[in-house]
Amino acid sequence: MIGDEYFQLRTRLSSELHALAEAIRDAGGDTEAIAITENLIASLKDPFVFVVVGEVNVGKSTFLNALFGQDFSRTGVMPTTDKIYFFKHGPRHEIVPITPTLDEVHVPLDLLKDFHIVDTPGTNSIEDEHQEITERFVPIADLVIFVFSAMNPWGASAWQFLDKVHRHWMRHVIFVLQQCDLRTQEEISVITDYMGQLSRQRYGQDFPLFAVSGRDASLARRAPEGGERQRLLEESGFLALEQHVSTLVGKNAARLNKLSSTVRMARQLLNHLRENLEQQIQLVQQTAGLIQEFLTEREMQVDRTLKKILPALDATERDYHESCVRVADMADDVLSTSQAFKKGPGEEEEIKPESLDHRLFQDLQHRSGDRWRQVGIILEEDYLQYDRFLHVQGRGSLFPSDAPLPAETDPDIRRLFAVHIDSTIRRFVLGLKLDEAIEPGLLRARKRARWVPWLILPVITAVAIAWYFDGPIGAAITGAGGLLLLGFALLITQTTLNSTRAQLADRLETSTVKLREMLQTQVHHDVSTLFGRFLPLLEPAKEDAQAREQYLLAQRDRLQTLSESLHAFQHELVR
């Protein structure tokens, strides 16, 4: 097709501009830049304007059919009335009157998207229209085609019309000698030589002149691919004409300058967009860095708070040792021999000793309660300090610029922390099961102590019998044996009590590590949970910033590729 090279360039540039417009939208560019880009795209679609001039019956219709490969006459596109017809692309065939002598003809032919054709009446038919043609269409024409008939190329009206064309516009003029198939080659040579001589005499220049046969070219267009088609095209003279017109289209200085200026404008828009994008990338990177700083500071604050609480753990461990001593003293009373001989007022019911678990919990709570309440205050202060830091440093990114600072106190933090510590100590003490630990030994000791009263009567009886039969010596020996038996019973009872007491002491001694572990775990959980309240704010913000950064970096790569493509396109235009 005519001008393929130029239209390919224009199509490529249009694609680049569409990509630029899309990139501007994706990057959040302003509407003005988008409008400018869309106007540049629209301006590229400006079609070439060809004005065809000639006398009546010189074969203009056949010439245009052959040049563009479209059968205008058969489709009713080429009227035969004495008017100027301006052919444009349209969705349906329609004739729109503009002036009494000018009609716009809308035709659904693809070639009319790129070429507007002004078909003039015969120059020898209506002289009054010549002025409108020269004033309205010749100045905007990319090409003015003067069609002469090989049978009569000397028609005065065509040459007179050319006289009225401004010399500045003559650079767009070409001559076409149509119907050459009706003349011999020698006759055509004579005619073309004389036309050139006449042009030089009247206008001081030669016009490109092409001798063609529209009939042969039309036959070639309809012929199948092959040697016959190529022969007809060569004989028609249209190959040279098409090459010349394509060259004019592809190297049209105004059009190429327009492409070049469009590329320059696109590159300016692109550079401006890249600058804005770089600013956005820097901003989002700063935001991502700031959020990471907040996360790091949060972790460091957790560590600092835990270190502040460490002395409280050491002190509670010492308190626990002192509480164990008191509980051990209390256990000595509970596990005394006198307690082993106690029993209930009826039916051998045992007397329950005071709960060691309860005493240990109360004593430990009394000793360490104030300390852990103070730790709760420290925890509250650290939390609020970080919260205020976050609000001050995060204004404009995490929070609105006018966001108020958080309150200076939060009693719920202290209260919940105290409840958790109290619950942990309670669980620890109940897990020791001190009462359950001493109860079996005490019961065994009591069962063994119960044999002592039962042994006294037999011993006294045995002493009396021995006195009766053996006298004082026998009674003394029997009494000594009885005392030994009673002493053995008491020894077994005391041994049971001592073993239980030793087991209790071991349990208290080994439980210190367990208490520290439980308190440390609870403290770490409370501190982590408390400062973890900030994660639902910071983590999504960090992910959003990272996603935004990745998106913007991808856009930057996209713009870089587009910039390189436009740069290469501009070099190609220059070349």
For 435-469, write each residue's pLDDT tens digit: 665 555 445 555 555 555 655 667 677 667 766 66
pLDDT at residue 75 greater than cutoff 50:
no
Residue range 461-504, pLDDT digits in tens: 766 776 666 667 766 776 677 666 656 655 655 565 555 555 65
Instruction: Give CA–CA dist 34/244, Å, rounded.
Output: 38
Which of 256-265, 344-353, 515-524 is predicted with the least confidence, judged by mean pLDDT?
344-353
DSSP secondary-structure letter at 76? Answer: T
Instruction: Give CA–CA dist 414/376, Å, rounded.
Output: 5
> What superfamily in CATH does domain 45-252 come from?
P-loop containing nucleotide triphosphate hydrolases (3.40.50.300)
Burial 273-306 (b: 16+ CB within 10 A, else e): bbebbeebbeebbebbebbeebbebbeebbeebb
Tokens of 50: 């060809």
Every domain of the chain and the residues it spans:
45-252, 284-556
Tell me the mean pLDDT in the region 23-52: 86
DSSP H/E element including 194: helix 185-203
Which of 143-152, 430-439, 441-450, 550-559 is predicted with the least confidence, judged by mean pLDDT?
441-450
In this prediction the pTM is 0.66
Instruction: Give CA–CA dist 345/351, Å, rounded.
Output: 9
Residue range 93-128, pLDDT digits in tens: 888 998 877 888 898 888 888 889 888 877 666 555
Is residue 347 very low, low, confident or very high in pLDDT (cuts 50, 70, 90)?
Answer: very low
Quote the Cα angle for 87-91-95, to 5°.
45
Is residue 345 very low, low, confident or very high in pLDDT (cuts 50, 70, 90)?
Answer: very low
Contact 180, 237 (CB under 8 A): yes
For the CA atoms of 126, 132, 138, 139, the dihedral, rounded to the nearest 10 degrees, stands at 170
